[in-house]
Amino acid sequence: MITEYKITDKEFDLFSTLVYKESGIRLGENKKSLLVSRLSKRLRILGLQTFKEYFDKHLKNENDGELIQMLDLISTNKTSFFREQAHFDFLRQVILPVLSSVKQIKIWSSACSSGEEPYSIAMTLYDNVANPNQWNFRILASDISTRVLARAQEGFYDVNQVSEIGNAKVKLHFLRGKGKDEGKVRVKSHLREIVSFNRINLMDERYPVKNDLDIIFCRNVMIYFDRSTQENLMIKFFRYLKPGGYVFIGHSETLQWLDHPYQYVAPTIYRKPL
């Protein structure tokens, strides 16, 4: 008989406090059913009967790798290629021409999910300079979820995920699968070689990132954070941008109500002053 798990208010408080501390994600009361549905299978695998037992045995001391597993299951990873096209247009029309004299650009996709964002950035760079081989393209792609990072690094996608990119771009940048991989595509090596992947928790005080970035993409992440967490994150990002560097946020996000050091450029685009 399959156990049907339920969570008490006290248990939910334990999990929501831990998730907030470790990821910045605030789980309101309306997220109880989401937490139960996403963690129930994990409890079954571990042979546990209650959420309190799971917390006490595997999460309380944060020492057996289970915390990362739990955060993987809780975090939402929804994305698509060239989502929020205005950012890629700005990169193509404004930023690349300015950097054409140095032929170098460094970008951090800080919540890359399954890789569609960093590979969209890579395609934009590759397609909009005269000779890509003369440029030094560096894209760091990170996420809190090791599960989606593994998928991103592999670079495999269903054909329908690239259907809106256009046949010419798909042919240039993707290999079509055959046999058992029929119906799938894989990002070609010339793009995968310019994207590096690393698990980074945005709640950490310092990041394994050099402080000379041209752009930080942090889109549709802050909607899960409270105001103080949003402000702290933007201040931390500020350290890693070079003067004149940009931060791109999601279409449903704004820095308007935050205390921050950036210059407003356009909706969802902000700049570190020169």
Cα separation values, 20 from 24, 135, 147, 229, Å = 4, 40, 20, 10
15 in the same domain as 149: no
Of 74, 95, 129, which closes a domain? 74
237 in a structural domain: yes
Instruction: Give the CATH number, domain containing residue 127.
Output: 3.40.50.150
Residue 183 in any domain: the answer is no
Count of domains forming the chain: 2
Each of the 274 residues of the chain gets a pLDDT tens digit; together they read: 456 889 999 999 999 999 998 888 888 888 899 899 989 989 999 999 999 999 998 888 766 688 888 988 887 667 899 999 999 999 999 999 999 999 999 999 999 999 999 999 999 999 999 999 999 999 999 999 888 999 999 999 999 999 889 999 999 999 998 888 899 999 999 999 999 999 999 999 999 998 899 999 999 999 889 999 999 999 999 999 999 999 999 998 999 999 999 999 999 999 999 9
Domain that holds residue 198: 85-153+188-271
DSSP letter at 177 equals P
Judgement on whether residues 89 and 41 belong to the same structural domain of the protein:
no
* Residue 4 located in a structural domain: no
Q: Is residue 205 part of a domain?
A: yes
The number of angstroms, rounded, from the C-alpha of 142 to the middle of its chain's C-alpha atoms is 6
What is the DSSP code string of 56-96?
IIIISS--SSHHHHHHHHHS-----TT-SHHHHHHIIIIIH
Overall pTM surpassing 0.85 (yes/no): yes
Same domain, 252 and 192: yes
- Residues labelled as active-site residues: 38, 143
Q: Do the strands 195-199 and 174-176 form a parallel or antiparallel pair, or are they unpaired?
A: unpaired
Same domain, 196 and 107: yes
Location of structure tokens 């951090």: 108
What H or E segment, with its residue span, contains residue 162?
A: none
Residue 261 lies in a domain: yes
Instruction: Give phi and psi for 69, each to the nearest 5.
Output: -60, -45
Report if residue 39 sits inside a domain: yes
Answer yes or no: is 99 within a domain.
Answer: yes
Buried b or exposed e, range 4-26, using 16+ CB within 10 angstroms:
ebebeeebbebbbebbbebbbbe
**Domain assignment present for 262:** yes
| Amino acid identity, position 5 | Y
Do residues 50 and 141 share a domain? no
Whether residue 211 sits in one domain with residue 250: yes
Same domain, 31 and 126: no
